[in-house]
């Protein structure tokens, strides 16, 4: 049997497929379409310290091969969440990974500590690629120092696996990745959405209520893939690749670039069976090549700059 | 007043028939007995474009009888174009039925249905169910031009009185369908409506003035269609039947009214008096 | 008559449409498909101090709603260029804008000085979004200090209009834009391609000879649009918007976001008439609304963060 | 030996006919007298996919006679699928003809043409011109399976001897067409070839061994198709007829051989002995 199980630190996953935060509710929304025991895990919608209404509408805009979203972390806040929501996750047939978002370094520690204590939660994803009101609209993941502080603090409050989710909206994602690793992250989620916008030319107004939003879907796949490739060359901890993964071929690109697992977000919106088709296709690929496990391909396209002409290479 | 809950699955179906009602408006009939068995008036599905390259498209369930269900498609962009291009014998996949449909459980006896454009597709099942339940049902149906009114006879066959309006006066009343509806002297005890946002707002206002209850089927850009992404929200009254049952800061930034409900999950049908738009 | 002329500093353009550097050769390649007097200007392929072979092949990869390229600035070098190429541009019926690329700050000054002296050249685009061997693979446009140095030097060697071309692969493009403006740029080109990659899962190798490349086309349009919007709020000089512009609607989004002119690159590959269709559509739009010139819409979607809920807004 | 130069424009044409040769292989006939007037053997065009949402696709000019030109399309992805789906009466736009075609000016008398798959589309005009010029012409045509060889009779009609091979042995020689060609005892004085890269490399090797001149029509991913982007290059001998006429560091990083030529502009047809791949 081809082995598709992977581990992210101490977190064992039967399949290398996570359902991306904010795209899968708590899994209940998709339970009538696919057998949730066939996915590796579900990353819950990010939760904050206080209840949040989320952003003004519209919150979604379709774009070429992708979509913009600006949900604004609509969620009930950690108190209600712990009291009413978390217990519902107990009987999910796959790993449940909490996602925490904060507006100060302190928020992350506080929420992580409370959430990680619950047995229903197998691991915590630290979403530092959301806005940081304290530092004037920048996200934590855009600042190596803030990244370090958040990860150190969350590390100090739990032994459960910590996945730190990075932003692509930076000059050097590998440098941020190294900070997160050195501060104690068990794994890295690469990447969150790419900042973008759309304008209604009849109304002379941004289409999103929030003006700017995050681009996801196939359009960003090549961007996400390079981010994974570069981060993989810089760190030793596992990477959860994400950004526009829709097919087995897409998933394989991310494994070859250096991802240990992948997350599937927007592709579920097109077809809820996407995670099953991806796992099936990846299994076929390994079997056809007599490969026993994903380890045999992880990072294998991660070649050095061996090309003789690389020294003069660029994207001009 | 809780609205009807759906029971959903992924369906792989075969195209039985394809009818072009007017340029750019197509009805696709599918062999879909499993959908027919569970769908209720006001439900929608998410149709997966055949190439799989594009996002799925929300479509109201138009007809559902025996083994055949159908959708009415207005071709407005690349996804609806790709779906409208399918030929009989080809495969169409979708997931659904989704959302909460119309609440027809309260024994209303005199119902007016107001529909605009392809909004008509979301109300035929409701009209049939109401007539079957003994209600007197009128359809007010407006479109840009005559050709688009092609399927109005389905409502006559169902036993409804049909009143038409066209923007260009090519058939029936010349002007907005809501203007025609506003003139009625036969006050209904329930209004159902589906169509473009400005039409729904007008219906809402008229219903308030006449002091009639109204249910509106709303359209928004959807991503997931199943309540997972919180992208399709609309402000509703906090504490209303359709408001999410957990704390949220309000749209005023205070712990007050209103709050956001998901159109795809708490809707797409909302009671007019619970909306705060 | 609707006025579609615009100016970028002293550079007057009859139409707001530039043909993007590296995508249009020297214009000769497209002369049999469209009337070049109907485009605002042509930005030439970037030229370097020495002849360059360019990158190893493959150099192109199609991606969802876009493409990757890694040409590597194949060009004959400034000496040959001045002697054999530039004179051919004399009779072009639109503005000809030279593009210079360098591997050191000094390169930029040297090439700009020599090229700008030629009467065939109406303005210079300073392509600082190409690799900088001196600073280890980073591009000049990723570093505010290097941006400043390059622009100051090129400014000191010519009075001709200088357009500085920025990279989207940075944490804060507006900050770089301000540096370029303060150092003397007359206009800014926003954006160059987005760094990305693709992997061949059969060969276990990156698809591009150069490993990484630049993503262009409709996929990046929402990213480019936000970059223009943010730069427009930070600077006073005109912006040449670019990235995935294919239709009149796309162009209008960029004008409303704050672009004075636009560049068209990848869209020419799909249909060489794209620049004409865009100009026609923009003219119709203005006429239908009784607007006399592009000025009446430039930056008009550039609203403040007026939305009441913005304070809690993000892209989660 | 300068190759033929093209004279190009954007063409808007109407589909005359559409023939499915084999599953996934289609010939589209277009009313395109302006293209017929200027196209030469080995030319290609960039076809604009009807929706305008996708990049244009390089296609060899297959037939060109009277007012009709045709293209042969192998459906391999979304762009070729969209183009192959057009129906008679619909509009197809393209720009071209582009590139340098085959050089048939040197009075060769005994020509072998080796084609693989839809590579066949790029050599029919050459075969016709050679026969018309008095040459004896043989076609070696290989494909995966029999169905794909459907159009070989066009070459017979043109007066060529046709030798077929299929990978699965369903028609003609069982194996690669190059293996069949290598066995010939009738040594041609010129070889033309078009097909997948491994086939072209094999042809190149055989031609060298036989000491015959060969012209190869190459395929690569194109962006512009007109020589503007330098994306489609291949190493050629510095100083060869097809090498760009300006200084370039070589592929060895020195000022030596080879240098990069654009397949779309300096090619797509190259003399085998000038390539350095
Ligand atoms: C609950 C629900 C039920 C629906 N039922 C139906 C149905 O039964 N039949 C049906 O045809 N559609 C229905 N719709 C609308 C349909 O989902 C959208 O029109 C469709 O997603 C558009 O996809 P597209 O890719 O073709 O167009 P896009 O590329 O997304 O849009 C193209 C252009 O059309 C505009 N546009 C988008 N939607 C509309 C619209 N509805 N009317 C006019 N212009 C529009 C856009 O602003 C854009 O300019 C329903 C929507 C919802 C939420
Ligand atoms: C000068 C020239 C002339 C050409 N003439 C013709 C012609 O006459 N008829 C024709 O059908 N094609 C021809 N081609 C090839 C054609 O341009 C490409 O196959 C086409 O661009 C693929 O577009 P797509 O979007 O459908 O596929 P893509 O989405 O680009 O590719 C889909 C998949 O098919 C693979 N693929 C791409 N091209 C080929 C191929 N040629 N064979 C097998 N697999 C492939 C890709 O690697 C990918 O996996 C020519 C190419 C050139 C450069
Ligand atoms: C509607 C939507 C909501 C999202 N919400 C969150 C969120 O709350 N927390 C988070 O970490 N990422 C969030 N994301 C980002 C996704 O988890 C994922 O990283 C990104 O969409 C890229 O993957 P994809 O292209 O497969 O969707 C959201 C994405 C979408 C489309
Ligand atoms: C094939 C190709 C080559 C390019 N070469 C250059 C270049 O030499 N110099 C430069 O400044 N930009 C270059 N660019 C970037 C374009 O000028 C343009 O900024 C970018 O492609 C975004 O616009 P688009 O999406 O309309 O193509 C190149 C782009 C492409 C696609
Ligand atoms: S579309 Fe996702 S919640 Fe409604
Ligand atoms: S494809 Fe652009 S130069 Fe050949």
pLDDT in tens, A47-105: 999 999 889 899 999 999 999 999 999 999 999 999 999 999 988 899 999 999 998 99
pLDDT for position A306: 40
pLDDT digits (tens, 9 = 90+) for C241-251: 999 999 999 99
Q: Of ligand 2's atoms, which has the minimum distance to the CA of residue D80?
A: 26
pLDDT digits (tens, 9 = 90+) for C119-168: 999 999 999 987 544 344 458 888 999 999 999 999 999 999 999 999 99
User: A135 pLDDT exceeds 60?
Assistant: no
Looking at residue A52, the DSSP 8-state letter turns out to be: B
pLDDT-above-70 percentage for chain C: 93
Domain edges within chain A: 6-315
| DSSP SS3 for C37 | helix
Indicate the helix (H) or strand (E) that contains B27: strand B25-31
Q: Are D46 and D227 in contact (CB under 8 A)?
A: no
pLDDT for position C302: 67
Give the largest Cα separation in chain C, rounded. Answer: 60
- Residues facing residue B143 across a β-bridge: B166
CB contact under 8 A, D53 and A64: yes
CB contact under 8 A, D249 and A64: no
Test site for ligand 5: of B227, B242, B268, most ligand atoms within 8 A of the Cβ? B227
Quickly list H helices, chain A: 78-80, 105-116, 144-157, 173-182, 221-234, 248-257, 267-270, 274-288
Q: Cβ(A121) to ligand 3 under 6 A?
A: no
Q: Token digits for A138? A: 């920048």
The pTM (predicted TM-score) of the whole model is 0.95
D-chain residues near B54 (CB < 8 A)? none
pLDDT digits (tens, 9 = 90+) for C251-296: 999 999 999 999 999 999 999 999 999 999 999 999 999 999 999 9
Test site for ligand 4: of C17, C21, C67, C278, most ligand atoms within 8 A of the Cβ? C21
pLDDT-above-90 percentage for chain D: 70
pLDDT for position D1: 33
CB contact under 8 A, A270 and B248: no
CATH topology of domain B110-219: Rossmann fold (3.40.50)
Looking at residue B125, the DSSP 8-state letter turns out to be: H
Chain A interface mutation, best of B56, B93, B229, highest count of A Cβ atoms under 10 Å: B229
Mean pLDDT of B264-271: 95
Q: Cβ(A168) to ligand 3 under 6 A?
A: no
Report residue A170's pLDDT band, with 50, 70 and 90 as the boundaries: very high
User: C16 pLDDT exceeds 80?
Assistant: yes
Report residue C35's pLDDT band, with 50, 70 and 90 as the boundaries: very high
User: B5 pLDDT exceeds 50?
Assistant: no
Report residue B4's pLDDT band, with 50, 70 and 90 as the boundaries: very low
Test site for ligand 6: of D231, D236, D260, D268, most ligand atoms within 8 A of the Cβ? D231
Of A80, A85, A271, the CB nearest to B48: A271
User: D249 pLDDT exceeds 90?
Assistant: no
What is the pLDDT of chain A when averaged over all its residues? 92
Report residue D246's pLDDT band, with 50, 70 and 90 as the boundaries: confident
CA D265 vs. chain centroid, Å, equals: 14
Indicate the helix (H) or strand (E) that contains B231: none
Distance CA D225, CA D223 (A): 6
Least confident of B44-53, C153-162, C189-198: B44-53
Distance CA A29, CA C41 (A): 53
Mean pLDDT of A110-128: 97
D-chain residues near A64 (CB < 8 A)? 53
| DSSP SS3 for C187 | strand
pLDDT for position D4: 38
DSSP characters over chain D: -PPPPP--EEEEEEEEEEEEEETTEEEEEEE-HHHHHH--TT-EEEEE-TTS-S--EEEE--EEETTEEEEEEE--SHHHHHHHT--TT-EEEEEEEESB----TT--SEEEEEEEGGGGGGTHHHHHHHHHTT-EEEEEEEESSGGGGGGGHHHHHTT-EEEEEETTSSSSEES-HHHHHHT-SS--SEEEEES-HHHHHHHHHHHHHHT-EEEEE-----SSSSSSS--SEEEE-TTSTTS-SS----TTSSSSS-EEEETTTT-BEEEGGGB--
Q: Cβ(C217) to ligand 4 under 6 A?
A: yes
Could you say which of 3.90.700.10, 3.20.20.70, 3.40.50.1950, 3.90.950.10 is the CATH number of the domain covering A6-315? 3.20.20.70
Distance CA C6, CA B96 (A): 52
Least confident of A115-129, B155-169, C29-43, C212-226: B155-169
Mean pLDDT of A225-229: 97
D76 C-alpha vs ligand 2 centroid, how far in Å? Answer: 6
CA D155 vs. chain centroid, Å, equals: 15
Q: Of ligand 2's atoms, which has the minimum distance to the CA of residue D81?
A: 26
Q: Looking at domain B9-98, what is its CATH homologous superfamily?
A: Translation factors (2.40.30.10)
User: B84 pLDDT exceeds 90?
Assistant: yes
Q: Are A263 and A22 in contact (CB under 8 A)?
A: no
Q: What is the ipTM of this complex?
A: 0.94
User: A309 pLDDT exceeds 50?
Assistant: no
For chains B and C, CB pairs below 8 A equal 9
pLDDT for position D252: 64
pLDDT for position D6: 46
User: B257 pLDDT exceeds 90?
Assistant: no
pLDDT for position D175: 85
Higher pLDDT, B248 or C22: C22
- Residues facing residue B98 across a β-bridge: B44
Of D48, D228, D232, the CB nearest to C30: D228
Q: Which chains touch B (3 or more CB pairs under 8 A)?
A: A, C, D
B-chain residues near D80 (CB < 8 A)? none
CB contact under 8 A, A73 and C314: yes
pLDDT for position C304: 53
Q: Of ligand 6's atoms, which has the minimum distance to the CA of residue D265?
A: 4
A154 C-alpha vs ligand 6 centroid, how far in Å? Answer: 51
User: B160 pLDDT exceeds 70?
Assistant: yes
In chain A the first and final C-alpha atoms are separated, in Å, by: 46
pLDDT for position B254: 62
Report residue B258's pLDDT band, with 50, 70 and 90 as the boundaries: confident
CB contact under 8 A, A309 and D253: yes
Q: Cβ(D199) to ligand 2 under 6 A?
A: no
User: B29 pLDDT exceeds 50?
Assistant: yes
Report residue B253's pLDDT band, with 50, 70 and 90 as the boundaries: low
pLDDT digits (tens, 9 = 90+) for B111-153: 999 999 899 999 999 999 999 999 999 999 998 888 778 788 8
Chain D interface mutation, best of A62, A219, A246, A309, highest count of D Cβ atoms under 10 Å: A309
CA distance C191 to chain D (A): 18
CB contact under 8 A, A308 and D53: no
Report residue A304's pLDDT band, with 50, 70 and 90 as the boundaries: low
Tell the residue nearest (CA) to atom 5 of ligand 3.
A22
Mean pLDDT of B42-57: 93
Residue with tokens 């992924």: B10
Nearest CA in chain C to D260: C53
pLDDT digits (tens, 9 = 90+) for D119-160: 999 999 999 999 999 999 999 999 888 877 878 889 999 999
Report residue B175's pLDDT band, with 50, 70 and 90 as the boundaries: confident
Distance CA C261, CA C275 (A): 12
Q: Are A240 and A232 in contact (CB under 8 A)?
A: no
List residues of C with catalytic annotation.
Answer: 130
φ/ψ of residue A131, rounded to 5: -65, 145
pLDDT for position B269: 96
Interchain contact D53–A (C-beta under 8 A): yes
Domain edges within chain B: 9-98, 110-219
B108 C-alpha vs ligand 5 centroid, how far in Å? Answer: 31
Q: Which chains touch D (3 or more CB pairs under 8 A)?
A: A, B, C
């Amino acid at each position: 049997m081809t082995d598709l199980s992977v581990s992210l630190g101490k977190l064992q996953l039967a399949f290398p497929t996570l359902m991306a935060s904010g795209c899968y509710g708590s899994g209940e929304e998709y339970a009538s379409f696919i057998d949730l025991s066939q996915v590796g895990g579900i990353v819950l919608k990010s939760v904050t310290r206080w209840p949040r209404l989320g952003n003004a509408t519209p919150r979604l805009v379709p774009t070429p091969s992708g979509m913009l979203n600006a949900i604004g972390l609509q969620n009930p806040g950690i108190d209600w969440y712990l009291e009413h929501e978390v217990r519902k996750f107990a009987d999910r047939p796959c790993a449940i990974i909490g996602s925490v978002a904060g507006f100060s370094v302190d928020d992350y520690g506080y929420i992580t500590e409370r959430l990680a204590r619950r047995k229903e939660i197998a691991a915590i994803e630290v979403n530092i690629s959301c806005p940081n009101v304290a530092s004037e609209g920048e996200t934590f993941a855009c600042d190596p120092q803030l990244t370090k502080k958040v990860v150190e603090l969350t590390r100090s409050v739990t032994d459960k696996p910590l996945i730190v989710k990075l932003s692509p909206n930076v000059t050097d994602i590998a440098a941020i990745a190294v900070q997160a690793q050195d501060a104690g992250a068990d794994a890295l989620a690469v990447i969150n959405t790419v900042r973008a916008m759309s304008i209604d030319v009849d109304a002379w107004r941004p289409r999103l209520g929030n003006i700017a939003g995050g681009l996801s879907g196939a359009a960003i796949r090549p961007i996400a893939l390079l981010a994974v490739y570069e981060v993989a060359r810089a760190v030793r901890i596992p990477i959860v690749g994400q950004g526009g993964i829709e097919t087995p071929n897409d998933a394989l690109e991310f494994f070859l670039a250096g991802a240990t697992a992948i997350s599937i977000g927007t592709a579920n919106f097109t077809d809820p069976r996407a995670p099953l088709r991806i796992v099936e296709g990846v299994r076929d690929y390994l079997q056809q090549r007599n490969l026993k496990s994903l380890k045999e391909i992880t990072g294998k396209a991660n070649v050095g700059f061996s090309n003789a002409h690389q020294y003069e290479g660029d994207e001009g | 007043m809780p609205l009807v809950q759906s029971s959903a699955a992924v369906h792989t179906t075969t195209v039985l028939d394809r009818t072009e009602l007017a340029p750019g408006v197509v009805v696709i009939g599918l062999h879909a007995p499993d959908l027919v068995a569970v769908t209720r008036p006001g439900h929608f599905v998410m149709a997966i474009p055949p190439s799989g390259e594009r996002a799925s498209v929300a479509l109201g369930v138009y007809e559902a009888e025996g083994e055949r269900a159908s959708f009415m498609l207005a071709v407005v962009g690349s996804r609806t174009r790709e779906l409208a291009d399918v030929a009989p014998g080809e495969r169409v996949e979708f997931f659904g039925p989704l959302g909460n449909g119309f609440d027809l459980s309260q024994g209303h006896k005199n119902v007016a249905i107001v529909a605009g454009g392809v909004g008509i597709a979301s109300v035929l099942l409701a009209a049939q169910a109401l007539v079957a339940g003994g209600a007197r049902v009128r359809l007010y149906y407006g479109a840009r031009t005559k050709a688009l009114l092609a399927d109005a006879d389905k409502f006559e066959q169902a036993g409804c009185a049909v009143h038409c309006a066209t923007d260009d006066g090519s058939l029936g009343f010349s002007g907005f369908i809501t203007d025609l509806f506003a003139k009625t002297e036969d006050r209904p005890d329930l209004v159902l409506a589906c169509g473009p946002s400005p039409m729904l707002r007008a219906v809402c206002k008229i219903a308030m003035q006449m002091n009639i209850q109204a249910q509106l089927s709303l359209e928004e850009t959807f991503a997931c269609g199943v309540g997972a992404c919180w992208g399709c929200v609309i402000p509703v009254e906090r504490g209303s039947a359709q408001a999410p049952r957990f704390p949220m800061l309000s749209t005023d930034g205070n712990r007050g009214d209103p709050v956001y409900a998901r159109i795809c999950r708490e809707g797409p049908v909302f009671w007019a008096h619970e909306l705060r738009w």
